[in-house]
Structure 1
Amino acid sequence: MIRLHDYWRSSASYRLRIALELAGLDHNRLAVDLTRGEQQAPAHLAHNPQGLVPVLEIDGLRLAQSLAIIEYLDETRGLRLLPGDPAGRARVRAIAHAIAMDIHPVCNLRVTNHVRQLTGADFVIEDWMARFLGPGLAAVEAMVDDGDFCHGGRLSLADLCLVPQIYNARRWGIDLAPLPRLRRIEAHLAALPAFARAHPDRVKPA
């Protein structure tokens, strides 16, 4: 049985859940509550020394880092999330990395918690999110195609990264009105069954 260690609101977990749904892979979810610090418990650190989610146990392997896991699923389950040409792959990875490696890391819980500890009462998390999510997504808006997908008129790794980040932006009250391309892509993807089944509202604890 495939085992997914994740947190329901984690962007990285969300993008991996989409990939698992696209692959049609049944899996058991094992919740790691980031708000309670369960990612730093010895049991989880034994799975991932970084103390991060997600972790996927599949094919006799224990895999970490969501983009690496998704590329593993792409290669082993034929998801075709990367274009066949080198230029296309580079572009898709650039969009995905702009989200997953530039925007996401500075907005995750361990970073914002640390900033809160350093600044105390002066820290307003909504201001922090606006500072990084807004400009970051504006750059992505300029990188994507003017259509239903981020690149080339078909589903790609970039789309799996985009949807969770738009979810976060809405959660923190980011104005998406200046981002018509991203809004159109997100609306199209939200209607796809794999994306709907992976949504945090579908997997959050009761």
Structure 2
Amino acid sequence: MRMAQEEVDVLVRGRIRGLRLAKGWSLDDLAARCGLSPSTLSRIETGGRRIGLDQLVAIAQALETTLDQLVEPAGDEDVVIRPKHDEARGFTAWTLNRDTGPHGLTVAKIRMTKPVRRGVDELKVHPGRDWFTVLSGTVTLLLGDRTILVEAGQAAEFSTMVPHAFGAHDGPAEILTILDPDGKRTHLRKRK
């Protein structure tokens, strides 16, 4: 956690200096606009002084920006959703909502490359219901004693208290699924 705070400090200091220079302002110019001394601003920019929240607010206002813009992450982790691969299961999953939705629901896209086989793959049971729609390919859904093929453009919804498993049928398949917390733990957890 300490390293993360230091990285944020370096990022904010660099943004303050960069915005000041982009406006063509000296330390004296920014100091006059935000009510801080030029030496305090110099120490803030160079890391010689911690930045207080009240100082950060004044600096942001003077630079005509917001606190959010000064402290937002430098990377793309808050925007880009990266896939999680599970080679053992032949699954690649993208969790499409960062925070769980109403009632703890998770939306995910899953790409399956391996078939599911009765007697080989374990059928899971958990409280709740699963729902998925097939985006491409065909999915084999083992549901209790039944084997159901769900094709592209079709959807499936079922009680997860019935033993179940799903996988690709005759080639890769992709689904969009909504899972409750138990379904997320069961279907999106990487197997070892």
User: Shared fold by TM > 0.5?
Assistant: no
* TM-score using structure 1 length: 0.20
Greater helix proportion: 1
Greater strand proportion: 2
More relative contact order, 1 or 2 (CA 8 Å, 6+ apart): 1
